[in-house]
Amino acid sequence: MDNPNGPYPGRQLFLGLTVDKSPFFAYLVTGRSVESRERKAVAVNDVIRMGPLGNIPCDPLRHYSAVKFDNVSGVLCISNGIQTDAIFEAYKLILNTGSLATRDYMQTLLEGAGAEPDSYHTPRIAGVITTGIDKTSSIFFIGMKSKVTQIDPNPGVMIGISTYKGSLENPEARDPGSALPEVGVEVKTANDIAKYLFDISEVFYKGNDIRVCTVAGVRLDTQEWNIAINNVH
């Protein structure tokens, strides 16, 4: 199958449950320009960073913490920009204080971050996987700007969101109110999830493969995250 968000999703994330009911995430980065494609995902302790290739000055729109996670509590945040750390810390604090996690915290932080300062007004997107007050149930939040949703994925299903919709030639920011696509997945491991999302997203623009990387993670029963990274470079 093809990517459900069309040929150019921009940056895209999915949250879901494996067929054996383990929480997981997947993140896709694509780029039409040479500058957008000249980067890779790198693991640094409990963070997955989108960084440059070689000695290139940092650009906060292209280089950022994409994933942050905690292997004790199992809290994880994934996003397409500067909001990752703030959202992660908010939900880790909520869990540590025994409070109820709701979508309002992520919505407030996304609204505060605003759209990216580019010609497309690229929206900030984010996802959170955390744990309920009972310490056993998983809670999933996914959204952009003023529309954050708590989702309840079935085993073997992932639910996603992307920054863009439409054609490669004329990308448009995704409508926050549009339906979230659901994709059935039989894979169980982080490596297989990362490969699956990478494979269904193959598209060429002006002769170049637009894919930059996919990152995926599955939360184990110990609350630790098993992470896989699939870089083009």
More confident residue, 58 or 28: 28
Q: What is the pLDDT of residue 77?
A: 98
139-172 pLDDT, tens per residue? 999 999 879 999 999 999 999 999 998 789 999 9
Tell me which DSSP letter residue 94 carries. Answer: H
**Which CATH architecture best describes the domain 11-231?**
4-Layer Sandwich (3.60)
Q: Which two tokens stand for residue 180?
A: 């979230």
Share of the chain above pLDDT 70, in %: 100
The strand pair at 204-205 and 182-184 is best described as unpaired
The strand pair at 225-231 and 64-69 is best described as unpaired
pLDDT at residue 136 tops 90: no
Q: What is the pLDDT of residue 133?
A: 84
Sign of CA dihedral 124, 42, 153, 158: positive
